[in-house]
A and B are shown apart, each in its own frame.
Chain A
Amino acid sequence: MQSFDRMFEKSARSLAKRTSRRSLLASLGQLLTGAALLPLLPIDRTARAQSPAAGAKPTADEQNCAYWKFCAIDGFLCACCGGTSTSCPPGTQTSPITWIGTCHNPGDGRDYIVSYNDCCGKVSCGDCFCNRNEGEKPMYRLSRNNDVNWCMANTESNYHCSVSVILGVAGE
């Protein structure tokens, strides 16, 4: 959250320099309204993702695009790039903001909220490209969109690969 706060503060300050107070307030008002209605706006989920959220670690082929956790991923699977489905490859940085999907695990019959963080700071991995779009939405619903570069707010904002981290069971 800290980095999102910093980023939001920075962008808000930048915006304030260039727009009128009225339009800034209108914008913030809409964003806040949106935040209340849609708790899944792009936010920093890194801290939460680091704690085990869904019991046992899923065993599956993390290099296979058909793996259920990848149901809304769009990019190179980090497990083919030196990382795993939950870790970025050495020397890259995790994106603090991300898009999410809701994927069905046929193993236990549950639906899980999955965070698809990008790994940043190196050129495209170029291996195991995987694009699945269950529940994916266009850019105007940003938190569900996998087209944008989610490294956009990183100091090193080049895109390398994508991970998929289980955040919890959907609806809980």
Chain B
Amino acid sequence: MKRIVSGVMLLALVAGAAPPPAAAGPQPPPLPAEHLTVAKVGPKSPHWVYVVDYAFNNEIDTRVYLFDGDTYRRIGQIDTGFSPGVNVSPDGKTVVVATTYFARGGHGTRTDVVEFNDTATLAKTGEIVIPPKHTQTLASLFTAAYSADGRFLYTPYLTPAASFGVLDPVRKTVLSEIDTAGCTLVFPWGVNRVSSICESGRLLTVTLDAQGHEATRNTSDPFFDPDKDPVFAQGVPLADGYAYISFLGEVHEVDLTHPKPVMRAPWPLVSGQEKGTWRPGGVQIGAVHQSLGKMFVPMHRGGEGSHKTGGSEIWVFDMKSHRRTARWPVDTKAAGEVVAVQVSQDAAPLLFAATEKADLLILDAQTGRVKHDEKKLGQTPQLLLNP
């Protein structure tokens, strides 16, 4: 009781010691009452970017940030579970996430699920529970991917036996599972074809029937040497196929406009003198502006085993002449080395670069001028997608 009385007296003293200041003039009107709302996403801009944060320090809590490259503001977030595959549907209306959840947070029964998120609201709109074996690996464009018409959705499985699931994103069903004989990831092309990359240096291509089951398959000739100069498994999307860049900087373009993959003659990112010294590296190791025909690659000085080292420079290449048209040094002390690049596809393009320090650099993709350095966008952002 004594203590309560003391407390009351103390409160009274404090209140008495600090009276409100005497009014020097007429008081301004009080602030109006505020209303609680949920913010709208707003009209889509080509300068938005989805930033996939793998959150290495707490990997069950990965997420995707939608970031505006003009206003430098976060628009919102999509939760993506543990070791997800993330992609955007061909019509841009859906962000798809193939991921894992554990029943008790960090442990418990594993449920693998493909989740659909409306890009106009960033709200989850549906899901498909899939077999608990989706490929859990680094961020990649090829661990969840749509057919060109959006009718099929593919997600690779790894147990470590390799296969992939064919899903119907409209009816929200699993249509089939297709064995890939050790070849991994899904590189979709056309409305019903999927390639996977093989240890033998080949592409395995499966053609689906109308029900999403395997109709035919073929295996390409080897197009790279996995012993002497392996390619990054993360292909770079082209207007007509994919480019697979090797550790030493050879570009292997695969033309996917024919019934079977056509391998073009490889071309080098580096001169004879630079070979083995300057190398591509990181996670998302290239991006192409389709109409300008420019490819952007993070490059670093390094030796064998440095293929995940981020770029201290970004090199720009003309996809027709195969010539390097620019070298843009990165202020690595301030921002860190570049581990992922993406370029907007409009006429005034922005180049986005995620770094080892978890910064997001925004550059003018035509001049290389750094327009903004967004500090610490998550923990470990490693994949960037256009809206």
User: Contact residues of A with B, CB < 8 Å?
Assistant: 7-8, 10-12, 14-15, 18-20, 23-24, 26-27, 30-31, 34, 38, 42, 71-72, 97, 121-124, 126, 129, 131-142, 147-149, 152-153, 156-159
B56 CB within 8 Å of chain A: yes
Q: How far is the CA of A38 from the CA of B231 in the complex (A)?
A: 19
Query: Do B136 and A124 have beta carbons less than 8 Å apart?
Result: no
Query: Do B199 and A140 have beta carbons less than 8 Å apart?
Result: yes
Q: How far is the CA of A20 from the CA of B304 in the complex (A)?
A: 42
Chain A residues with Cβ under 8 A from B184's Cβ? Answer: 139-140, 142
- Beyond A34-B182, A133-B305, A139-B137, is A152–B160 a contact (Cβ under 8 Å)? yes
| CB contact between B233 and one of A14, A19, A71, A138 (< 8 Å): that residue | A138
| CB contact between B161 and one of A8, A126, A136, A156 (< 8 Å): that residue | A8
Q: How far is the CA of A8 from the CA of B161 in the complex (A)?
A: 8
Query: Do A124 and B137 have beta carbons less than 8 Å apart?
Result: no
B75 CB within 8 Å of chain A: no
Query: Do A152 and B136 have beta carbons less than 8 Å apart?
Result: yes
Question: Nearest 4 pairs between A and B by C-beta?
Answer: A123-B106, A149-B136, A134-B305, A138-B233
Q: How far is the CA of A126 from the CA of B160 in the complex (A)?
A: 25
Q: How far is the CA of A158 from the CA of B82 in the complex (A)?
A: 8
B:40-88 near A, CB below 8 Å? 56-60, 82-83
- Beyond A19-B177, A129-B56, A156-B107, is A97–B183 a contact (Cβ under 8 Å)? no
Query: Do A27 and B179 have beta carbons less than 8 Å apart?
Result: yes
B267 CB within 8 Å of chain A: no
B193 CB within 8 Å of chain A: no
- Beyond A26-B181, A140-B199, A149-B136, is A11–B161 a contact (Cβ under 8 Å)? yes
Chain B residues with Cβ under 8 A from A138's Cβ? Answer: 197, 230-233
| CB contact between A23 and one of B100, B107, B179, B199 (< 8 Å): that residue | B179
B:15-56 near A, CB below 8 Å? 56
Query: Do B160 and A157 have beta carbons less than 8 Å apart?
Result: no
Main secondary structure of the interface of A (DSSP, over half): loop
Q: How far is the CA of A136 from the CA of B232 in the complex (A)?
A: 11
Chain A residues with Cβ under 8 A from B179's Cβ? Answer: 15, 19, 23-24, 26-27
CB distance from A119 to the nearest CB of B (A): 13
Q: How far is the CA of A97 from the CA of B182 in the complex (A)?
A: 16
B:139-161 near A, CB below 8 Å? 158-161
- Beyond A15-B163, A121-B107, A133-B308, is A141–B230 a contact (Cβ under 8 Å)? yes
Query: Do B185 and A152 have beta carbons less than 8 Å apart?
Result: no
Query: Do B58 and A123 have beta carbons less than 8 Å apart?
Result: yes
Smallest Cβ-Cβ distance to B306: which chain A residue:
A133
B:168-184 near A, CB below 8 Å? 176-184
Query: Do A97 and B160 have beta carbons less than 8 Å apart?
Result: yes
B135 CB within 8 Å of chain A: yes
Q: How far is the CA of A31 from the CA of B177 in the complex (A)?
A: 18
Query: Do B183 and A124 have beta carbons less than 8 Å apart?
Result: no
Query: Do B182 and A11 have beta carbons less than 8 Å apart?
Result: no
Q: How far is the CA of A24 from the CA of B176 in the complex (A)?
A: 14
Given A147-B138, A152-B160, 11 additional A-B pairs, CB 8 A: A8-B161, A27-B182, A123-B58, A123-B60, A124-B59, A136-B307, A137-B230, A152-B159, A153-B160, A156-B107, A158-B107
Query: Do A152 and B305 have beta carbons less than 8 Å apart?
Result: no
Chain B residues with Cβ under 8 A from A71's Cβ? Answer: 305
Smallest Cβ-Cβ distance to B106: which chain A residue:
A123
